[in-house]
Chains A and B, each alone.
Chain A
Amino acid sequence: MKLLERLPATSTRVEQNTAPELNHAVRKRADAELERLQGASNEQFIARLEELDREWDIERLLQVNASSLALTGLALAYTVDRRFLWLPAGIFTFLAQHAWQGWCPPIPLFRRLGVRTAREIERERYALKVMKGDFDHVPAPGQADASARVRAVLAAVDA
């Protein structure tokens, strides 16, 4: 348990391993998007939320990237030279490093290309939902009993 506590948090481990100015650029782009949608119509909000639903986060991209490279290395090991086994070995090692620590060689490149973490995408999603008014009917603390507030909050996040 001690070891697990010393590992970087799941949701922020990629940000922790990205240059601050790249994190900042990702955030600025999201904020500009929120700015652009100020006072937008319901349809415009929904269109953007659907884009976010389809957006590939960095985990998904890494999984596809790592597995295709590993398969390529294995195919080359079968057909060309056994020494190509070093390729999947390197890939699996870096994938492990990414899972535990949050860094692997493609991260700087992907982050420069603006690929976002799930956390960054979700932040934009819920900011949009607040602007769209999904949370308008949540009673303030003390204005309704606990179970009514939970029901209202769940309706808002699932709206």
Chain B
Amino acid sequence: VNPLQTDRVRRHTAAAVLRRIDEVTADSLNEHASAGSAHFAERLQALDREWDIDRTIEAEASAMGLLALGLGAFASRRLLALPVMIAASMLLYGTTGRYPLLPIFRRLGLRTAREIARERYALKALRGDFAHMQREPSTATVATTQVRTATGVDQRRAAELQDTL
């Protein structure tokens, strides 16, 4: 079950652009595989912060929507067609994964949450986080517990979470 195959944004991204986006991921993995473990934490943190396509579209559409509403309310009533179009585009994006600005955002290299998660867990596997979890029926319980710690919020992120709350 390849997680990328059912990504609705990928379905509406040109093949050449997908190749470029996936190359960036592969390059990062190659770089870290040969660089040693010191850089993994830094990269994982950067992936956490990376703006994904959803967050970008939400920020863009809301700013455009407010601007267009202002124009419609104060300049000309006809301009109210603009916020209608913006809201309709967002509805289209949420339901199908199509969006008028998607080709531009994807060419700028913006990734989906799934693409970012794929790099994240590939890095964790490269670092050896899953190394002691080979599947053996007798140690299944141990494996689950270990999976839990390896994929769980690590110390740093837990602290970060508590700081913000």
Binding site for B on A (CB under 8 A): 5, 8-12, 15-16, 20, 31, 34-35, 38-39, 46, 49-50, 53-54, 57, 59-64, 66-68, 70-71, 74, 77-78, 82, 85, 88-89, 91-93, 95-96, 98-100, 118-119, 122-123, 125-127, 129-133, 135-136, 138, 140-141, 146-147, 149-150, 153-154, 156-159
Contacts and interface: CB of A to CB of B under 8 A. Distances in A.
A63 B65 contact: no
A138 B125 contact: yes
Greatest chain A CB density within 10 A among B50, B114, B121 is at B121
Query: What interface size band does chain B fall in?
Result: 35 or more
B144 A34 contact: yes
Nearest to A122: B117
A130 B113 contact: no
A100 B51 CA distance: 10
B122 A154 contact: yes
Interface string B66-108: 1001001100000010011001101101110000000000000
Interface of B: 1-4, 6, 26, 29-30, 33-34, 37, 47-52, 54-59, 61-63, 65-66, 69, 72-73, 80, 83-84, 87-88, 90-91, 93-95, 113-114, 116-118, 120-122, 125-128, 130-131, 133-135, 137, 140-141, 143-144, 147-148, 150-152, 157, 160-161, 164-165
A92 B58 CA distance: 9
